[in-house]
Structure 1
Amino acid sequence: MFLAVPLVRGLTTLFCRETNSIACHGAPGVSNTAGAALWTIDYTLQAATLGVKEVFFHEGIGYKYNFFQPVSLNRSTIDGSPLDPPLAPHIQPVYYGGLVINTFVGKTGSAQIVELPIADSNVAGYAAYEHGRLARAVFVNLHAWLASSTDDRPAVHIDLDFASESSGAQADELWSRTATARRLVIEHADDTAGLRWAGQSYETSDLRPRGRLVLERLVLSEGIDLRSTEAVLVEF
């Protein structure tokens, strides 16, 4: 494990500098896709569970793995061909991953992040505790659903039994409680636009969300279904 040496040497504050999905400013068809948004969630939160305090994503004008393109571009980021008219500043799919992470980490600065055991190796789960109490959980289904995929879109069922950590009557009370879910909806892993976070699109000229905010109500004992190439955040 790459963290072994600094931890052994007593370095308790760790930073991940100049990172991102693929070297040399990203790869077209990978770094600029919806699938990269899901990877970003898993990558960042996994780092948090390993003791990394901050993750700095490498960005630059025209880079394929940018969260957003900050200026107008007169050449394609994919093949370098001229663009006429220029492409206006805009977000890229990875930006939605940042929105999920921001909501999950919260505003208090006290969140303790742990990985949750999931039987499926292509599904990641993390919980955020604040002052010893479960505050939020996020689940990421990394099974790829592509534009070329056929048949019915698969889904996995997530049990939320970890949310009830007591026993007896108190556990029964917790188990019957409801929670709120926000879903990152993606049509296909290889899409480069069209994502929605809690029902809203951020692909606007001023980055203000467009659309009605969609919050799902969950009964903890019933769990939640998560489609391939999708993420869901649960607030307790």
Structure 2
Amino acid sequence: MATNANRRNDPAVDYYVADPKDAPVSVRYGPSFITLADRYNGSVILGLNRRLNQLNNTISAAENAVANISNLIAIELANEPNFFNSTDPINTHGGQWTAADDIASQTSWQSSVGTALDKTSIFSAGVYFSTQDFSIVNLSKAETSSGSMKYVSDFCSHNYPQSQSTANLPKLMNHSAIHQQISPYAPEIAASHAVGKTHIMGETNSATQGGGGISPMFGSALWVMDYSLQLLYMGSERVYFHQGTIGNCPYCWWNGTNNIGSPYYGAYFATMALAGASHIAPLDDFGTVFGAWAVYGESEKVDRVLLYNSEIWNGTAQEGARPEEIFELECSNGCANKTLKAVRLTAPSALSRQYLGENPSVGGQMFENSTCGLLGEQQMESAVVGDDGRVNFTVAASEALLVYL
């Protein structure tokens, strides 16, 4: 039960905030929180505290979690420890908290907690919002030399391309800019794979602190789509999009009591493209605003192509007609004169927000706010492959098209 508007005090969690829209500085949770996690219809990664330097408390919580969360796949020992500071209890020597400090602390705690649990492959390691000194490249070396690698299930990065104060929608959704922004994570992913561990993007979204003005817009949906595909192609196995503070989360996919966030459309479209896929490959060099992805099915043949025009379209804020790009596809293996079907992801503009009635659509359908169900009849587009095996598809600015071969 809520004792007042700014306090949550029930058997699951206990915290206080000065304003209901704030994120709490300190949160306590008990056994019923663990029970709720066990009921979740999906896998769970549980974050435990290291900053307060209460090892026995963390061991107790870990033991409870392992015993009672049947869908637990990993435990984090601290969130973004690159931000620990000189006054945090874990920093027993004072002064700046360095990467060397954290690596020594993290590997030691993994050994202590892992030994107490009598479990290996249990920790999601790193959890860094950094690719510099606080990095998986450096941590993975220490995991190997210290003998704590056996306790690691995966290596975890965090990433927010932009900040709330400097948010820029054209740059966020730009196909080439996405590639440039995530390039520093390539060595992190490679370091994970080099020691036989998977890499995950354990927390990410468009911009820090909920995303500011651009995050609920359709352009952010296009970013979610292309960003997910690019991370997957780089070798990151899972991407966890942060859903933020309840009631104060512009980048959330479900925002408020009865609102679908526009970014949800991008996640849905990426899922449509990837369903049943064995792998993907880019058909461009990430050098322009135009992107194309080949999606391979179980037969190792391309059975879908996703086309993306990341040029910004502001709708009524711009003059003239909406720009369009013609993508030419060439297929082989007797597909001449074949009719290809396609589904379009679009919205009135990159600025569109569903909660203002500017609904995006997937194949002509939209998501109903209160039920998340699709409304309307699906509209499949079609084009006929020519005698030469070539076919053209038009994709307007701030749109994507999924072509079924």
Q: TM-score, normalised by structure 1?
A: 0.82
3-state SS, counterpart of residue 102 of structure 1: helix
Residues 140-163 of structure 1 deviation map (CA, whole Å, 9 limit, x = unaligned): 1111110301111110000111x3
CA positional deviation for 1:210:
1.2
Structure 2 vs 1, CA of residues 207 and 223 (structure 1 numbering), >3 Å: closer, same or farther? same
Alignment-derived partner of residue 2 in structure 1: 185
- Could you tell me how far apart the structure 2 residues matched to 1:191 and 1:21 are? 16
> What amino acid does structure 1 have at the position aligned with 2:251?
Y
Is the Cα–Cα contact under 8 Å of residues 204 and 239 in structure 2 kept in the other structure?
A: yes
Question: Out of 116, 122, 139, which is 2:283 matched to?
Answer: 116
Alignment-derived partner of residue 92 in structure 1: 261
2:373 maps to 1:187: no
What number of residue pairs does the alignment pair up? Answer: 208
Is the Cα–Cα contact under 8 Å of residues 96 and 197 in structure 1 kept in the other structure?
A: yes
Alignment-derived partner of residue 200 in structure 2: 15
> What amino acid does structure 2 have at the position aligned with 1:23?
T
2:226 maps to 1:57: no
Identity of matched residues, %: 26
CA positional deviation for 1:111:
2.3
2:24 maps to 1:24: no
Question: Out of 363, 369, 374, which is 1:204 matched to?
Answer: 369
Structure 2 vs 1, CA of residues 145 and 180 (structure 1 numbering), >3 Å: closer, same or farther? same
3-state SS, counterpart of residue 144 of structure 1: coil
CA positional deviation for 1:6:
4.4
Higher Rg: 2
Alignment-derived partner of residue 77 in structure 1: none
- Whichever structure has more helix as a proportion of its residues is 2
Alignment-derived partner of residue 103 in structure 1: 272
Alignment-derived partner of residue 137 in structure 1: 305
Divergent runs of 4+, >6 A: none
Out of 173-182 and 18-27, give the one that drifted further.
Answer: 173-182
**Larger relative contact order (C-alpha < 8 A, sep ≥ 6)?**
1
CA positional deviation for 1:205:
2.2
Q: TM-score, normalised by structure 2?
A: 0.49
Alignment-derived partner of residue 320 in structure 2: 151
| RMSD across aligned positions (CA) | 1.8
Alignment-derived partner of residue 38 in structure 1: 222
Q: Which runs of 5+ in 2 are unaligned?
A: 1-183
Is the Cα–Cα contact under 8 Å of residues 204 and 210 in structure 1 kept in the other structure?
A: no
